[in-house]
Amino acid sequence: MASLKRSVDSDPFAANISSKVYVRSTKSGKVQKIVREVYLRQDIPCSSKLCQSCLKATPRDAAGRPIPFVLSEAPAGTSVFTQGHYLVPDTNAFLSAMDLFEQSSAFYDVVVLQIVLEELRNRSLPLYNRLVGLTQSEDKRFYVFFNEFRLETHVAREAGESVNDRNDRAVRKAVAWYGEHLARTKAKKIPAVVMLSNDRDNLRKAKQEGIHACSLAEYVKQLKDGDRLLDMIPETQDRDVIKEKRPNELLYPEYFTMSKMMTGVKSGLLHQGTFNVSPYNYLEGSIRVPAFPKSLIVPGRENINRAVDGDLVVVEVLPRDQWKEPSTKVIEEDAITRNENPDAEGGGDDAVSEKERKALQEEVRRTHSKTTEGHAQPTARVVGVIKRNWRQYVGHIDQSSVSKSAQQGRKQDTVFVIPMDKKIPKIRLRTRQVAELLGKRILVTIDAWDRGSRHPVGHFIRSLGELETKAAETEALLLEYDVQYRPFPKTVLDCLPKEGHDWKVPESLDDLGWRDREDLRHLLICSIDPIGCQDIDDALHCRPLPNGNLEVGVHIADVSHFVKPNNAMDTEASIRGTTVYLVDKRIDMLPMLLGTDLCSLKPYVERYAFSVLWELTPDADIVSMRFTKSVIKSREAFSYEQAQLRVDDASQQDELTSSIRALMALSRKLKQKRMDAGALSLSSPEVKVQMESETSDPIDVKTKQHLDTMSLVEEFMLLANISVARKIYEAFPQTAILRRHGAPPKTNFDELANQLRVKRGFELSIESSRALADSLDTCVDPKEPFFNTLIRILATRCMMAAEYFCSGTQAYPEFRHYGLASEIYTHFTSPIRRYADLVAHRQLAAAIEYEAVGPGVRSRGRLEAVCKNINIRHRNAQMAGRASVAYYVGQALRGKTTEEDGFIMKILSNGFVVLVPRFGIDSLIRLRDLAEPEPEATFDAENYVLTMSGSKELRLELFQKVRVRVMDQKDETSGKRGAKMEFVKAY
Amino acid sequence: MASTQHVLLSPAELAYLHEALSLTPPIRPDGRAPMQFRPLVAETEILPGTNGSARICFADGTEAIVGVKAEVERTRGYHGDEQEEGGEEEEEGGEERREGEREGQGEWVELTVEIPGYRDDDAGTAFLAAMLSEALLADGRFAKKLWISRRFHWKLFLDILLISPPLSYPLPLLSLTTHLALLSTRLPRLKSEGDEDPFFDDDWAAAPYLYPQGTTTTRPPITLLVMAVGRNIIFDPSKEELAVADVVLAVSVGEAATNSASTKGKGKAIGGMDIDSAAAQPGRSLRLLSVRTVDPPSRVTPPGMPNATNSAYGVAVSVQKQPEARTVEAQAVEGVWKAPRGGAKPAVMAALVQKVLERGGVADEVLDALEAVELG
């Protein structure tokens, strides 16, 4: 009987075939034996320019040219490897110190082993992407060597060997092979091949095998600017050291094992969710889990158990006697832990310091004194972390944590970094450059948080510049909100039209660009935008028809003509998702050439557009509508103010002005219809920072004024968006990109409704948007015109966020846009600055059969991924914009003190929050700042009244109007300059 | 499927065969001794994607492949909401109770047999599958091996394929191949503890064998085919021999863990054969797991006709055929083939079973031979 098995002896190619057998556990709980055959080859080049033999064997491209080799023939040397060297890092080196490899001063000629790259991808996708970016950059000379497929470097797993050990052995084998291989080239100077690893065992074995190997720290010390780079090496956590610690020195409870957590979550005993830290109290977190309608509270440091804001954690509900009310007290980390010593490993004997305990005790006492127990909310403790969501954090070194001696020498010192984001705990950092880094904005990352240390440990990445310089603060903002602000790469710029700024709409109507395009150049089209707007997305026209009706057109920049699906520019735009507007800076989604010139519907020139044309009756009822690609020529680009003046000026009787007047009349009727349907008019405190034109230093802050021309444009954009949404949904019921705004859950309004009932006797009904709109209208204080706006601001904060989605993922009733009271909605009108609009353009073009249906239009999976990304980008862009305004408001106030009126919008037991409409800022005023010593206060949480006695007699209540002194103040701990308010008097 | 394909032998040939096999000692057509097995060739782990596999070729050209695949399955009837008992109790009774609870269920093993040319719901195929799984599950020890935790177990899929035409009754071949495949079966190593969701070692090399090697006490059962002609007992019958068998038995035996273990299987065993009382005897102690009588093809063979009633020999055919035919069959005529009728005699049955279980007997020999097959 001939054996069925592959025989090793008889097969001449047996040596070239190896198989990998392992067990794979899938998410659904299946356990499979996986067999992979590996075909080993010898033509995978080493890619060193020294090597001639590989050059002969290397695979060639279609033109017969070999793929150019990457590694330099004369690599740089270090103090130890003077002959020059190639680096071969292991996975942990990349995992812990990717920032080092991105340095421009060192780390050239790196061999990235396939096995390392694969392992990195499994461990951290962002890091993997960064490494792939490095391998693509030509000047860094990173070469991916497929060691698993090269005969000489393939390593089979041995009996009883763990995967990690096998991979380490594979790395060592590759290093050894490179060494031997290069030695055979007989070059004059043969570079050393150096393995980089932080694994002690791996290093020891490498030494035994006679391979060059260094730990990261050893290696960096050999470099010229080693001291500087040394700071970027993360804290090496020696596992052995931790184990040696006596158990009573461990401050935090141990995490459950992954399988225990999964079992618990599946059986419903444990709950999984994203951990959020309260913005007012760093010792209290909350977590929303699918099992309960309301969030669970995670009180205290021990229960938070090393979770950081944004982590995906598993929690266990605490027994009923430990339930509590959400904190009404401000507890800020810096105030309580100010005097901690960063050098002390464990700090005291407990995770919870004495002071923190006191703060908590007061909470408990207050909860217990309540007669109504119904207020207590369920609490939970963190038992494990599924996924850390650590990113890079912007912060600055806490001045008070720096010892005197550290400010002079270059000795390594441990300091605290206070992140800009108050929800992130202090990070312990070891650095040699304390003196340089003091007073700078720095970027750090968290490496680990083990049970023995009260604060997480991190390492320094780079310095952004002096605190409060415009460049540093702007970059800090962009980093904090994850805005891609690097210049567009060459691959993206290559996608632009070759003509550059000279591009024109072709003259000949036979040109391909004119195919299926309507010539609308004869129409009197104009655009109305904010002052100084360069990226003009939209333009309008209106003309009477013979039958007494009106033809109205909305013309949107035809961005999809220039940005073809799936090229580099499209990919970049989909990643950026949106243009980010800061006070003095705009981070574009598309390259300038398109955004501000070729796509922008500038006046007096012909431009491609995507037009929506309606026939409306004088009562603004739609008779018919159609969509077409077109060529337009805008007659004028107005600012809102100019347009308003023109409309108001009765002497202007030209055709263009009267068409704007007609649009204005229609827009009022449209708005009325929308309001009747229950659209909400919400409010947020918007301000505008006025800049000095030359230095662009902020000089004043103004609240934004609302003009009729703004709502004119808004109404027609809404109409266009709704019309387009209907059309693309009709054409692609499964894959249309739409925007929805969910009805807010009733519980969101509980507190506001209660506050209004208790304080003013208003009833807030929230059954529908209509009811809410009506009841908001009744919330009027005749003496205080701003009161209604205040309520609207508070109501806005109770709303859900609107989101993009793919129509197949929701049922039709869920499409509803709550705020606009529209059944269906999308974004179509700003393709220059929003990616969603660009997708809607492509879908509409396919729906009117202008172009073929592309995969980006019909693939639901891809659309869902796009929606997910742009939802996040959109939110981040909004927050970055707001943070930028807040920063400039602070700068504008610098050195000035003004008295302003404000309103109490939140009341706590030891402070209250005041909103100043003039600047659109709200700030906390603590009782201890009112008088010295801190006045005694009794807080009536049910009536929202805070009564002070002792050093200051005062009674404050919610919604009360107060006079405050606003001045600028640099917050010493967060390093932010912001408005500080001082209480002057109550009205 | 009958126990073999219809054998194209004339009544005279059948009669001759029967006669030869009834002699003492019997003379088998291929010259084997009555207890002698045909030579076989075996190899294991031929299918890399399975948890265990084997292939056996018999000298008569029949060949079978068995693949074993395992899947994690949730145990029905367990609701994981019970709270943990108090710590002390856990400490005390934990180990014992856990042992006690390790109970396997027959449905954890799914066995399919495929015979070329037959539908998978063919009665014969189904009977083969039933016999094989019956032997496997007879003592409950096998299913116990599949226990992971109170909430999970392995579900084993045995795919048994005959890849040659069924030249002789394939039961022994399939049984031996299954035995080897199970011996080579490995299950991923469990890393989690207690009743957590199971979590396994990703290293296949670390996966333990379902039947730990080196210990002879635990091995999968084998099913042997034994037949009797007259008083002669013949092992591993060929298809021609089956065609004249008086009785055919499928006997499943397993190894007894200890001497006393043989009494455990008494529910299944037919007759009291306390054969392992002689502990000093060489060889292993075996226990009987199941016995099935197989319908021998000899029963459907056409009868021979004595010359006395054969019209070809000039005998006048009587008008009343039917009663005559009956009398013909009722009388045994020397040298004329007559299909066996009626059940086996208890004494023959007992002798058959005893022969199988004999220390150092045929079953022992077969197990020894299979043990010699290298795993991997």
Question: Which of A33, A162, A166 best tests the B interface by mutation, with the highest count of B CBs <10 A?
Answer: A33
Size of chain B in residues: 376
Question: Which of B79, B196, B373 best tests the A interface by mutation, with the highest count of A CBs <10 A?
Answer: B196
The first and second tokens of residue A635, run together, are 């007659």
Of B55, B195, B205, Cβ closest to residue A4? B55
How distant is the Cα of A153 from the closest Cα of chain B, in angstroms? Answer: 21
Interface of B with A in 75-134 (CB under 8 A): 80-81
Query: Is A25 within 8 Å of B204 when comparing Cβ atoms?
Result: no
Q: Note whether A835 and A538 are within 8 A (CB).
A: no
How distant is the Cα of A267 from the closest Cα of chain B, in angstroms? Answer: 7
Query: Is A23 within 8 Å of B207 when comparing Cβ atoms?
Result: yes
How distant is the Cα of B181 from the closest Cα of chain A, in angstroms? Answer: 15
What global pTM score does this model have? 0.63
- Residue in B closest to A30 by C-alpha: B72
**Cα–Cα distances in angstroms (integers) from residue B202 to residues A26, B155, B207, in the given order:** 11, 19, 9
Query: Is B202 within 8 Å of A35 when comparing Cβ atoms?
Result: no
Query: Is A30 within 8 Å of B71 when comparing Cβ atoms?
Result: yes
The residue behind tokens 């990235």 is: A112
- Name all contacts of A148-153 with Cβ < 8 Å and 24+ positions apart: A148/A38, A148/A114, A148/A115, A149/A38, A149/A39, A149/A40, A149/A41, A149/A44, A149/A114, A150/A40, A150/A41, A150/A42, A150/A44, A150/A177, A151/A15, A151/A16, A151/A40, A151/A41, A151/A42, A152/A42, A152/A177, A153/A177
Of B57, B197, B204, Cβ closest to residue A23? B204
Query: Is B55 within 8 Å of A267 when comparing Cβ atoms?
Result: no
Q: Note whether A977 and A468 are within 8 A (CB).
A: yes
Of B43, B49, B195, Cβ closest to residue A35? B49
Q: Note whether B291 and B251 are within 8 A (CB).
A: yes
What's the half-sphere exposure (Cβ side, CA atoms, 13 Å) at A185? 22
Question: Which of A5, A7, A31 best tests the B interface by mutation, with the highest count of B CBs <10 A?
Answer: A31
What CATH architecture is B11-78+101-302+339-371?
A: 2-Layer Sandwich (3.30)
Question: Which of B202, B210, B373 best tests the A interface by mutation, with the highest count of A CBs <10 A?
Answer: B202
Contacts of A905 (CB under 8 A, 6+ apart): A790, A793, A794, A913, A914, A915, A922, A958, A959
What residue spans define the domains of chain B?
A: 11-78+101-302+339-371
| Contact residues, chain A, for B41 at CB < 8 Å | 1
Query: Is B202 within 8 Å of A5 when comparing Cβ atoms?
Result: no
| Contact residues, chain B, for A23 at CB < 8 Å | 188, 200-204, 207
DSSP B206: G
Query: Is B197 within 8 Å of A266 when comparing Cβ atoms?
Result: yes
The first and second tokens of residue A140, run together, are 């860094």
Helix, strand, or coil (residue B157)? strand
- Residue among A264, A279, A267, A273 at smallest CA distance from A294: A273
How distant is the Cα of B263 from the closest Cα of chain A, in angstroms? Answer: 38
Q: Which pLDDT score is estimated for B9?
A: 83
Cα–Cα distance measured from residue A771 to residue A777, given in angstroms and rounded to the nearest whole number: 10
DSSP B6: P
Helix, strand, or coil (residue A582)? coil
Q: Which helix (H) or strand (E) holds A758?
A: helix A746-760
Q: Which pLDDT score is estimated for B100?
A: 46
Query: Is B46 within 8 Å of A162 when comparing Cβ atoms?
Result: no
Query: Number of helices and strands (H, E) in chain B?
Result: 9, 9
| Contact residues, chain B, for A25 at CB < 8 Å | 199-200, 202
| Contact residues, chain B, for A29 at CB < 8 Å | 72, 197-198
- Residue among B282, B73, B33, B38 at smallest CA distance from B187: B73
Strand order in the sheet with A954-957: A936-940, A945-949, A954-957
Average pLDDT for runs of 10 along chain B of length 376: 62 89 89 87 89 90 92 73 39 41 76 88 87 84 83 91 86 92 90 78 84 72 89 88 88 69 38 42 75 82 75 58 50 75 82 85 83 74
Query: Is A163 within 8 Å of B206 when comparing Cβ atoms?
Result: no
Strand order in the sheet with A312-317: A296-299, A284-287, A270-277, A312-317, A380-387
- Residue among B119, B161, B112 at smallest CA distance from B133: B112
Q: Does B280 touch chain A (CB under 8 A)?
A: no
Contacts of A28 (CB under 8 A, 6+ apart): none
- For chain A, list residues with pLDDT below 50: 237-245, 345-349, 370-373
Of A1, A158, A159, Cβ closest to residue B41? A1
Query: Is A33 within 8 Å of B198 when comparing Cβ atoms?
Result: no
- Burial status of residue B189 (CB atoms within 10 A of its CB: 0-12, 13-18, 19 or more): middle
Query: Is A263 within 8 Å of B51 when comparing Cβ atoms?
Result: no
Contacts of B111 (CB under 8 A, 6+ apart): B129, B132, B133, B136, B157, B158, B160
- Residue in A closest to B48 by C-alpha: A35
φ, ψ dihedrals at A508, nearest 5°: -75, 130
Q: Which amino acid is at A391?
A: R
DSSP B201: -
**What is the CA angle A9-A11-A15, rounded to 5?**
85
Query: Is A25 within 8 Å of B200 when comparing Cβ atoms?
Result: yes
| Contact residues, chain A, for B198 at CB < 8 Å | 29, 31, 259
Of B63, B70, B204, Cβ closest to residue A21? B204
| Contact residues, chain A, for B188 at CB < 8 Å | 23, 31, 33
Would you list the DSSP string of B43-86? Answer: EE---TTSSEEEEEEETTS-EEEEEEEEEEEEPTT--TTPPPPP
Q: Which pLDDT score is estimated for B96?
A: 41
Tell me how many residue pairs between chain A and chain B have CB atoms under 8 A apart.
79
- Residue in B closest to A23 by C-alpha: B202
Query: Is B51 within 8 Å of A33 when comparing Cβ atoms?
Result: yes
Cα–Cα distance measured from residue A523 to residue A539, given in angstroms and rounded to the nearest whole number: 11
Query: Is A21 within 8 Å of B198 when comparing Cβ atoms?
Result: no
Query: Number of helices and strands (H, E) in chain A?
Result: 28, 37
Of A24, A159, A263, Cβ closest to residue B205? A159
Buried b or exposed e, range B218-248, using 16+ CB within 10 angstroms: ebbbbbbbbbbbeebbbbbbbbbbbbbbbbb
Q: What is the set of domains in chain A, with CATH numbers?
A: 70-233 (3.40.50.1010), 247-387 (2.40.50.690), 390-467 (2.40.50.700), 490-736+823-876 (no CATH), 745-796 (no CATH), 896-986 (2.40.50.140)
Q: Which helix (H) or strand (E) holds B144?
A: helix B141-144
Assembly ipTM: 0.72
Query: Is B80 within 8 Å of A162 when comparing Cβ atoms?
Result: no
The first and second tokens of residue B282, run together, are 């060489």
How distant is the Cα of B376 from the closest Cα of chain A, in angstroms? Answer: 10
- Residue among B241, B213, B247, B215 at smallest CA distance from B228: B247
* Residue B12: count of CB within 10 angstroms of its CB: 12
**Cα–Cα distances in angstroms (integers) from residue B239 to residues A446, A980, B126, B297, in the given order:** 76, 102, 20, 9
Contacts of B204 (CB under 8 A, 6+ apart): A21, A22, A23, A33, B186, B188
- Residue among A288, A297, A373, A362 at smallest CA distance from A331: A362
